Amino acid sequence: MARFTKEQVERLRATPMRDILAAEGYDTSHTNDGIYYSPFRAKENVASFHINDTLHCWFDHGDPTIAAAGKPTRNGRGGGDTIDFVRILKGCSFTEALEYLCRYNPGVVPDLQADPITVPRRKDTILSGGGALAGTCTETRIAAVYETFTDTALVRYAESRRVSLAMLQRYCREVHYECVFPDNIVKRFHAIGFPNSGGGWMLRWNPPTGRGKRSTGGGATLLSRDGTVLPEGARPTAGSVIAFEGFFDFLSWMEDFRPGGSPSDTDIVVLNSVANLHGAEAFLTAHRNVITIFDADKAGDKATEQAAVMCREAGVRHLDYRSLLSGEADYNDARRKRLLQGTTAA
């Protein structure tokens, strides 16, 4: 019988109950303020099962005896928490419920061997960067940050971008964040989080179409030669600096040239958006050599020109290394094409 620490129990308790419903084959298409069709009845005409994934609790409005089987006073909302939900749904013990939840969270309990459960994803379960759901989000707030990645979908996304788990965990975190929608509806999502120097995060995930992107507290990321995130206003730790637009470009460059995990002999700037170039100007031009590897598009062209002007006015050397892109849109795309063709970086 597995033993669980308090932290592990809390991580497992945070498993989204909608994911469990979807994986178990229940209808999750109907929702209004977190209310779904109940999994405890064969069929109902009016959705009555309320899930609050922020507080990790539920209440079945259609059957008070089901709610009473859980913990009716849990968080003052009634019904129970995620563990109570699994115990009733699967007819199992507390420990068995935790073991079941481990299948949604591979890696939370490293010693427990369990086949992971793949959650069917619908378009309305993932915040799309260009969709209507993203457009109505009025506030983004961080709910939890974890050093170890347990969301296999995020790991697979990074691997599809040809970034290893080791490099991902060296510089990024698994970030659980909440979006607040009109009528105070709150939805929780998971993303790969890359920290910036202002204390915020650049969030990336893999929606059904396109690339999901969101930021909390804008700004560039300044990294020292040992890979430490530097605060805004920091001084250089090396004579040269390399600047990228996005963090997947930076991670890809690291995979090619610094597989040991640290920039070693250069500082790094990840703009996170070309709009942050001027905010990073003081740090960039404090170096003797400024290397830029921006995207091969109009925004990247303009940012490269601006960087060249900054460096010329500051009397420092500027080098444009976009030749490494080999005709691709950005460094990450160039790396993926090279690996597909079996060639190496220049």
Question: Per mean pLDDT, which range of 173-182, 208-217, 325-334 is the poorest?
Answer: 208-217
Tokens read off for 146: 């974890």
For each of the domains in the chain, give its residue range(s) and CATH number, in order of start: 6-120 (3.90.580.10), 124-216 (no CATH), 221-341 (3.40.1360.10)
CA 205 to CA 325: how far, in whole Å?
23
Which tens digits make up the pLDDT trace of 198-244?
888 999 987 644 456 766 667 899 999 999 999 999 999 999 999 99
pTM of the predicted model as reported, rounded to 2 decimal places = 0.63
Contacts of 244 (CB under 8 A, 6+ apart): 250, 253, 268, 269, 270, 271, 293, 294, 331
Choose between 254 and 12: higher pLDDT: 254
Instruction: Identify the pLDDT of residue 75.
Output: 39
Which tens digits make up the pLDDT trace of 104-162?
887 788 778 778 887 664 433 323 333 333 445 667 788 889 988 988 889 989 999 99
Tokens read off for 63: 């059957």
Choose between 135 and 284: higher pLDDT: 284
Beta strands in the chain (DSSP E): 35-36, 49-52, 57-60, 80-81, 139-146, 173-181, 185-195, 201-205, 212-216, 221-223, 229-230, 240-244, 267-270, 289-293, 317-320
Contacts of 149 (CB under 8 A, 6+ apart): 107, 155, 165, 168, 169, 174
Contacts of 262 (CB under 8 A, 6+ apart): 225, 226, 227
